[in-house]
């Protein structure tokens, strides 16, 4: 996704009076509504949705060749609401996360978006850490049954 011209101008300015926000949306089919977090010290209402202000340390995915894009996230375990929602999920649940970068001046305009599954979630009393990327999806078999000498010997010589 290309960065908008207004954001590129804002990024290249020597003094930026606005800055950017990172929005994190975590979804699961059993939740009534997704968890919405903004990397800030205060809550934001963007597009009619309330984002909880929570310090999040984000390492954005790189575009290294031959490597799946992966973002690394660490957020403070404040209030334990996220922890209780995660603990209530059944084993093997898949969480879908959307990471968006928006300008504070125009928070409804998404400049960058990365959508992937969350994996490797670890929780301590103070921090929730996870990896966001397509690793689990990329490791799945593309088909249910493969034709190989084991299950279809008539198709292979010898």
Report yes or no: 131 and 72 within 8 Å, Cβ to Cβ: yes
Please report the pLDDT score of residue 110 as a whole number: 87
Q: Which pLDDT score is estimated for 158?
A: 67
Distances, alpha carbon 79 to alpha carbons 3, 25, 126, 127, in Å: 34, 18, 10, 11
In this model, does residue 118 exceed pLDDT 80? yes
Average pLDDT over residues 5-9: 71
Please tell me the predicted confidence (pLDDT) of residue 134: 73
Minimal CA–CA distance to 132: which of 157, 100, 106, 156?
A: 100
SS3 99: strand
List, for residues 66-114, the tens digit of each pLDDT value: 777 788 899 887 766 777 788 888 887 888 999 998 888 888 888 888 8
Whole-angstrom distance, CA of residue 88 vs CA of residue 85? 5
Confidence (pLDDT) at 109: 85
Evaluate whether 45 touches 51 at the Cβ level (below 8 Å).
Answer: yes
Of all residues in the chain, the percent with pLDDT exceeding 90 is: 17
1 has pLDDT over 60: no
**Predicted model pTM:** 0.75
In this predicted structure, the answer to whether residue 23 has a pLDDT above a threshold of 90 is yes
Q: Which residues pair with 103 in a beta bridge?
A: 20
Highest mean pLDDT among 8-12, 23-27, 59-63, 130-134: 23-27
């Amino acid at each position: 996704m290309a960065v908008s011209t207004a954001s590129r101008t804002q990024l290249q300015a020597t003094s930026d009076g606005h800055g950017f926000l990172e929005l994190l949306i975590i979804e699961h089919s059993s939740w009534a509504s997704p968890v919405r977090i903004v990397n800030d010290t205060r809550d934001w209402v963007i597009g009619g949705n309330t984002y909880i202000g929570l310090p999040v340390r984000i390492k954005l995915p790189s575009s290294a060749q031959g490597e799946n894009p992966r973002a690394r996230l660490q957020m403070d375990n404040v209030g334990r609401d996220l922890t209780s929602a995660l603990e209530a999920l059944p084993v093997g649940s898949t969480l879908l996360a959307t990471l968006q970068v928006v300008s504070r001046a125009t928070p409804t305009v998404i400049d960058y978006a990365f959508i992937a599954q969350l994996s490797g979630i670890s929780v301590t009393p103070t921090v929730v850490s996870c990896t966001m990327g397509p690793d689990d999806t990329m490791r799945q078999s593309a088909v249910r049954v493969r034709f190989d000498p084991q299950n279809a010997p008539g198709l292979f010589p010898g």
